[in-house]
Amino acid sequence: MLGMTKRPFMALAASTALIAAAPAFAQDNEEIVLGGSLPLTGVFGFAGVAIEAGIQDYLKILNEEGGINGRKVRLAYEDTGYQVDQSVAVFNKLTSQNKNVHLYYGDSTAFSRTINPELVRRGDILMAGASFATEINDPENFAPQFIAGPDYTEMYSILLEYIAKEKPGAKLVFVNSDTEFGRDPIESSTARAKELGLEVVEQIITPPGAVDVSTEVLKLRRSRPDYAIFHGYILAPLPEFMTQAKQLGLDSQFMGTFWSMDNSIWDSVGEVADGFMGVMPYRYYYDEEEAPMLKRIRELRPTYQSTGYMQGFLTAMLMGEAVKRTLDAGQELTSQNMKAALN
């Protein structure tokens, strides 16, 4: 398991695990295709649109500088609506209609799991995506995939360890969406909380885009936790949850994982959001500390770009670096070689 901190970081779930497959290899001067099953509509459409923009901008910068060893990289993608069957259909379509698909961005935990046997069979694609699922952070069973950051269990652990130091014996409530994304860290994090001497007094599950959360807020009021941790949401119902909780006089500290850490989520909430804390693996668009690539992003995009944009941009950057290191070593673009290049 990776060691994480609360400061911005980049941690790779890379391994040297081998996969026995026989891919078809491309000509040296042909373009490289980054395929994408992207959730441009549906409950996570907000994130998908930002992710696509981040990937495209990185590839624009990369290609303007000559590509990778003279080979341009192109994004080929379609909308999935965050539906796993559609995600698989898009994968099959893109990999059959495009040559040299050596990189792929997936939209969900369910897709990452479903498509993994095909990635292993092909042996010529390195994949990452929007999911930070704990099970994907497994170099043996998910050898062709990596995570561009901590997995969801690690994110929870960061928060729980902080809580244990700040308020030993604190009471907690977990608020999770009714998705694989949302349910991922519940069991492991409940156990981790117990190890740290913390008490999980309630677990609340809601639909990912719920509008009416009044019943769930009443559960929160009855529990009166010291901390409430949200996971499995992009936008709704986080602002509604916090607004109603404050109206009921709750003074719980609200926290979240990566996908709830975008500034735009809280812009319209006002003072209710004051003090919200969470795990953010990347730099924010408005960070002032010197960062050459962040400067390039601001030149391309003069207005604020969301955390989804940063995630897509950095994931594409890591993919590009894996390809470059592999080609520089004189190796073929196999899943095995590209994954090992990230170590």
pLDDT for the residue 263: 85
| Secondary structure (DSSP) of 285-311 | TT--S--HHHHHHHHH--S---HHHHH
> What are the residue boundaries of the structural domains of the chain, listed by start?
32-149+290-341, 152-278
Q: Do strands 253-256 and 277-278 pair parallel, antiparallel, or not at all (unpaired)?
A: parallel
Q: What is the DSSP letter of 203?
A: E
Question: Per residue in 179-221, pLDDT tens?
Answer: 888 999 999 999 999 999 999 999 999 988 788 899 999 999 9
pLDDT for the residue 18: 28
* CB count in 10 Å sphere of residue 188: 16
| Residue 332 backbone zone (phi > 0: left; psi -120 to 50: alpha; other: beta) | beta
**What CATH architecture does domain 32-149+290-341 belong to?**
3-Layer(aba) Sandwich (3.40)
Tokens of 29: 């001067």
- Residue 257: closest CA among 4, 49, 52: 4
pLDDT for the residue 62: 98
User: Confidence class of residue 25 from pLDDT cuts 50, 70 and 90?
Assistant: very low
Q: Are 168 and 143 in contact (CB under 8 A)?
A: no
Question: Per residue in 126-140, pLDDT tens?
Answer: 999 999 999 999 999
Query: Which of 3-7, 54-58, 246-250 is predicted with the least confidence, judged by mean pLDDT?
Result: 3-7
Q: Is the pLDDT of residue 120 over 80?
A: yes
pLDDT for the residue 28: 63
Q: Report d(CA 11, CA 27) in Å as an integer.
A: 32
Q: What is the CATH number of domain 152-278?
A: 3.40.50.2300
Q: Report d(CA 231, CA 215) in Å as an integer.
A: 18
User: Confidence class of residue 270 from pLDDT cuts 50, 70 and 90?
Assistant: confident
User: Does 32-149+290-341 match 152-278 in CATH topology?
Assistant: yes
pLDDT for the residue 174: 98
Considering Cα of 275, then 280, then 283, then 284, what sign does the dihedral take?
Answer: negative
Q: Is the pLDDT of residue 7 over 50?
A: no
Mean pLDDT over the full length of the chain: 90
Query: Which of 23-27, 128-132, 188-192, 257-261 is predicted with the least confidence, judged by mean pLDDT?
Result: 23-27
Considering Cα of 186, then 257, then 3, then 275, what sign does the dihedral take?
Answer: negative
| 178 Cβ contact list (under 8 Å, min separation 6) | 205, 206, 207, 208, 232
